[in-house]
Chains A and B, each alone.
Chain A
């Protein structure tokens, strides 16, 4: 634990999350994965958007950027494209990432830009007290779905894979050690990595939907999650009502900023007689 504590801004603790919230567990898993890799604190930038999840970077001792709602990945793209040597991590929530930030999410995946995205999926807008999100299961209650959510929800992992992410995994706040392992592998992938961390919001999702205490919700994760490796050996009827955890996709591919670096190197060889100053501008099209 002491190894990972150095990555926290201890003076910023305690955190603002509700009792029983799973976000601390996810943040802990991220920090332990970072500690395992012994990443240099000064070489990591953590970016977030708006919502409960997005308060996490404030507690972490890196350069941290708390941005506007949904835009974390766009800001992070600017950081990473500017300084590809920096390790860029995005901490986001289900609403931040899949509703208002959905476009940035699919395009970051399409580019395969080297950003590790941790989506803290608590299936609800917690900060604003419990409106349904694109990840709220159909039928569940939210303040804006008082008769039960009538919308279908995203399968975030499949969305990420289809959009081009090269590492996609899922775990829950119950499966904290698995989560840590998966985040570590995500951090090692040179490309766009997504780890969906299913976490409990006992205050808003749990209470309204009579899901019990935080412990009850964690037990529900334990019973409903099936590791993808185990699932392969299971009969389809046994998998009904379950969701997959583990490494769902891992297929490295060429990375955006590295490709751009190559382009720069190529062009600089071509223009290597350039002595600085303002270069003659290319003729513009009309």
Chain B
């Protein structure tokens, strides 16, 4: 009974991070993510971890990259406006292959928007927010327990593949409290980055060109290596050679592409025999699940596909499902972002309808139900 808790989503993300070994947090307060910073400020110093409130979000992500290079497991948390400010350095982390975790508790934008209301409109920003082709992993918890689980997973992925990982939640999931049964910490799988065994001949970016992950030494261990946001060769020093840049970009992209089957995560209900498939993630999926169940009660064969990894998207799974269904409805709290990826994957095998909501309120189940029953937009 002691590991059953009533817990907030933001609290569960933080606890997940601490369980994963997070020992450095830098952040700038922003609604609706602030509870993460507050809890890190309380908890980290108790175990020798480091907390710092930076002067802005650009500084926050810079600080966690610096921390991660010294061997720390580092994290920041933010919401839309702050996430926008972090974009340049997300690209830096992607190119320099520094493992970091960013929690983005989405709110209504653009601009200051509606700070205390939920949205899911950072789907594309999370994938393509920084300039240049780059790999990134985005996880989307669908309830409070998953905030805990997927934040641990985010650290594990970032450590294993040396890639920035974004945990994309929203105001509803971040703030709602729910019953959570916590696992025994000893039973949780924790991944740590692979480190070189010897300084002799260490090349910080030496890796299999086909998506290999280089070994990561920590600053202060005597390796004395160079890290730069310029394209660099395997020695870590800048290289202006076009063929080197192309090979680097391809390796970085391939790294995540190759990892997709291992990191893939999703939830389905009633998809085995469904005619109408609802695709939704995060809090929209809560309304959608309720709607799917109500539709079943009315005799309509509806099912839910809820991706937990949204970038890279569990493409092969949806591809298979799409061959068996008559209609697909994508419900999301934005003007239609994830639907673009769904349309790409489904490639006209089934009609894909976009159900959107941008008024800062969660879908009501009957709104999704109406779409299932009548096909109304």
Chain A residues engaging chain B, CB cutoff 8 angstroms: 12, 41-43, 45, 47, 57-58, 61-68, 71, 74-79, 81-83, 85-86, 103-104, 107, 260, 263-264, 267-268, 271, 274, 277-279, 281-282, 284-285
Contacts and interface: CB of A to CB of B under 8 A. Distances in A.
B238 interface: yes
B35 interface: yes
A79 B43 contact: no
Given A65-B66, A67-B92, A68-B89, A264 B45 contact: yes
Given A42-B222, A277-B186, A278-B185, 9 more contacts: A63-B220, A77-B63, A78-B70, A79-B67, A82-B72, A83-B220, A85-B220, A278-B18, A279-B47
B19 A278 contact: yes
B359 interface: no
B89 A41 contact: no
B66 A82 contact: yes
A78 B64 contact: yes
Interface in B1-41: 7-8, 10-11, 14-15, 18-19, 24, 26, 35, 38-39
Contacts of B39: 281-282, 284
A267 B63 contact: no
Contacts, number: 162
B48 A74 contact: no
Given A67-B229, A78-B26, A78-B66, A281 B220 contact: no
Nearest to A257: B50
B240 to A, nearest CB: 11
Contacts of A71: 58-59, 62, 89
14 contacts: A41-B224, A42-B224, A58-B226, A63-B220, A63-B225, A64-B225, A66-B227, A66-B238, A71-B58, A75-B66, A76-B66, A78-B74, A82-B70, A279-B18
B59 A103 contact: yes
Nearest to A264: B45
A74 B55 CA distance: 9
A284 B35 contact: yes
Contact of A103 (B38, B56, B88): B56
Given A82-B67, A281-B39, A58 B238 contact: yes
Nearest to A79: B66
Contacts of B268: none
A285 B35 CA distance: 7
Contacts of A79: 66-67, 69-70, 219
A188 B352 CA distance: 66
B228 A74 contact: no
A207 to B, nearest CB: 25
Nearest to A70: B58
Interface core residue of A41, A82, A267 (most chain B CB under 10 Å): A82
Given A57-B226, A79-B66, A264-B48, A74 B35 contact: no
Contacts of B226: 57-58, 64-66
A103 B43 CA distance: 28
Nearest to B8: A284
Contact of B46 (A82, A104, A268): A268
B374 to A, nearest CB: 39
B373 interface: no
B191 interface: no
B224 A81 contact: no
Contacts of B18: 278-279
B371 interface: no
A275 B201 CA distance: 40
Given A58-B226, A71-B62, A83 B46 contact: no
A100 to B, nearest CB: 10
Interface in B210-241: 219-230, 237-238
B66 A47 contact: yes
Nearest to A263: B45
B227 A64 contact: yes
Contacts of B221: 42
A277 B50 contact: no
Given A68-B92, A278-B18, A281-B15, A86 B66 contact: no
B331 interface: no
Contact of B62 (A74, A264, A282): A74
Contact of A267 (B19, B46, B70, B238): B46
B219 A107 contact: no
A78 B47 contact: no
B250 to A, nearest CB: 23
A281 B11 contact: yes
Contact of B55 (A82, A83, A85, A104): A104
B345 interface: no
Greatest chain A CB density within 10 A among B66, B221, B225 is at B66
Interface in B56-81: 56, 58-60, 62-72, 74
B227 A65 contact: yes
A277 B185 CA distance: 6
A185 to B, nearest CB: 24
Contacts of A61: 224
A279 B18 CA distance: 9
Contact of A285 (B38, B68, B237): B38
Contacts of B66: 47, 65, 74-79, 82
A30 B67 CA distance: 24
Given A77-B54, A271-B46, A104 B35 contact: no
B297 interface: no
B52 interface: yes
